[in-house]
Structure 1
Amino acid sequence: MTKPYDVFDAAAADYDSVGVDFVGPMGSALVEAAGIRAGERVLDVGCGRGAVLFPAAAAVGPSGSVTGIDMAPAMVELTRAAAAGLPQVTVAVGDGQAPDFPAGSFDVVALGLVLFFLPDPEAALRAYRRLLRPGGRLAFSCFAAFDPGYREAMRVIGEHTDEPPQQPKLPAMFDSEDTLRSAVGAAGFDGVTIGDLTVRSEFRDLEHFLAWVDSHAGRAVLRRVPAERRPALLAALAPVLPDPPAMSTGVRLVGAVRPAG
């Protein structure tokens, strides 16, 4: 049975590694927005290839700690190897929906583009509250606006598959800043803040764009395009994206605090 994280396990070797600015800038911006400081204990949920984990490790320094968990074993193996020279970093397979750590274990719980993938984001927020010390901080990122060209390109890719996929809909809590504030507050957090970030991604050509799509969740769609349809797909994408291809992605950076009481 296919699991939600299987696509990331399959894409692990190429994830964020095809020469395109995307999750890296988002991860660094989230760490900065969270105000992670030297000596703090950080949990990075859904650590992937370390977009949040490595800037967080630099921020906490040798006196702090960063624990990265991910459900994709290949992601964990590669990120653990990359972090081998950082004694303050631990990387392990772990469930982002309900991480298995004692209450009050962390000063910061961070998630970069992960929360909306979980089966029950609201329940996950309550679980993270338990893991934080009183006064500890939650920080997560989520998409705000996709480039229209990207949306159209993914539609075109889907049309060239044997069975066009259903476009997934994010849970309602991600609909707007108001719904995000409400969901985070209902999970028991105070002081909710939401910042905006726009990341510009540029590609050499259409083949580079498809290599990038293949390196993340889009792989699940692209890999369903038969090889004989690849030329037709490239021809159909040409009028959809600029030459050379480029796109802008809007992201929300959400922060909150576990009340001290």
Structure 2
Amino acid sequence: MPSELIRAFDEAAATYDAVDVEFFTPMGAELVRRAGIRAGEHVLDVGCGRGAVLVPAAAAAGPHGRVTGIDLAPAMVELTARALAGLTTVSLTAGDAQRPEFAPGTFDVVTAGQVLFFLPDPPAALRAYRELLRPGGRLAFSSFAAHDPRYTRAVKALSQFATGLVDRQPAGLATFQDEKSIRAALAEAGYGPVTVSEGVVVSRFRDLEHFMRWVASHAGRQVLNHISPEALPRATAAAAAELEGARADDGALHLTTTVRYTVAARDA
């Protein structure tokens, strides 16, 4: 993962998934549900962030299970560990989702919520996760099937005011662009049965200021970091123009995200 993106996540950690917007939390809960985590299982959550997958995974694994979260952003690890200190079945550590450093066959389930497409070499990561799974274990991850086009246009509008921003798509996007590419990557990595399904998350924003706080609370912060204070009002106005079509009767902005959930088994 590029160092600039890690820095953006580190800076956003205090508000990540914590600005009163339904986004990563419902995605995490749905991923855990589809993963079918059972009581007593040992789970590794890569790129754990502030716990959107970690917390429901711990609830599903129960008091006799074990959930380990890793993240490359130090503030994510520190703040999440502090927030979840009362969950004795959960542990967190700094770690690279590209190549987690655990012994082979350590986990029953590996989860990854909206992170794998950021990795420099997703096929290699998929192979590494397979080695970490016990025979019959599962890999469960989410990826974006479709962003609301108004959100995409708003971010593009903001980017026009960003100075020095390298418009570089994450290296791993091609691996997760559609169900066919996902299934091909998993087959190449040696997984057995695969299920791919989709769900929709509707995010509601009270006003434009709320939307901008949300953008600053996740990877979008990387764009905002390149917009000068002088240019920010014009950038915000440009984004507002693109979002106007998302305004509901109550005046709030509603954006819809289609999420793809994949669960792949390691054969015995």
Q: Which residue of 1 aligns with 2:200?
A: 198
Report matched runs for 1:122-201 at 5 Å: 122-163=123-164, 165-169=166-170, 170-201=172-203
Whole-angstrom distance in 1 between the partners of 2:240 and 2:123: 40
Residue from 258, 262, 266 that aligns with 1:258: 266
The C-alpha deviation readout for 1:45-78, integer Å capped at 9, x for no partner, is: 0100000000000011110000001111100001
Whole-angstrom distance in 1 between the partners of 2:254 and 2:192: 38
8 Å contact 2:137–2:265 — kept in the other structure?
yes
Partner amino acid for 1:229?
A: A
8 Å contact 2:157–2:238 — kept in the other structure?
yes
Q: TM-score, normalised by structure 1?
A: 0.96
Report matched runs for 1:40-59 at 5 Å: 40-59=41-60
Q: How far has the Cα of 1:226 moved from its partner?
A: 1.5
Classify 1:2/1:178 alpha carbon distance in 2 versus 1 (closer, same or farther; 3 Å).
closer
Q: Which residue of 2 aligns with 1:108?
A: 109
Structure 2 residue ranges without an equivalent (≥5): none
Bigger mean CA deviation after superposition, 127-136 or 1-10: 1-10
> 2:239 aligned with 1:231, yes or no?
no
Q: How far has the Cα of 1:137 moved from its partner?
A: 0.5
Pairwise CA RMSD of aligned residues? 1.4
Partner amino acid for 1:258?
A: R
Partner amino acid for 2:118?
A: F
Whole-angstrom distance in 2 between the partners of 1:27 and 1:20: 14
SS in 2 for 1:152: helix
Q: TM-score, normalised by structure 2?
A: 0.93
Whole-angstrom distance in 2 between the partners of 1:88 and 1:227: 44
8 Å contact 2:35–2:263 — kept in the other structure?
yes
> 2:227 aligned with 1:219, yes or no?
no
Q: How far has the Cα of 1:245 moved from its partner?
A: 2.0
SS in 1 for 2:167: coil
Partner amino acid for 1:235?
A: A
Partner amino acid for 1:72?
A: A
Aligned residues: 260
Q: How far has the Cα of 1:164 moved from its partner?
A: 5.4
Whole-angstrom distance in 1 between the partners of 2:110 and 2:161: 40
Partner amino acid for 2:115?
A: V
Whole-angstrom distance in 1 between the partners of 2:208 and 2:194: 40
Q: How far has the Cα of 1:3 moved from its partner?
A: 4.6
Structure 1 residue ranges without an equivalent (≥5): none
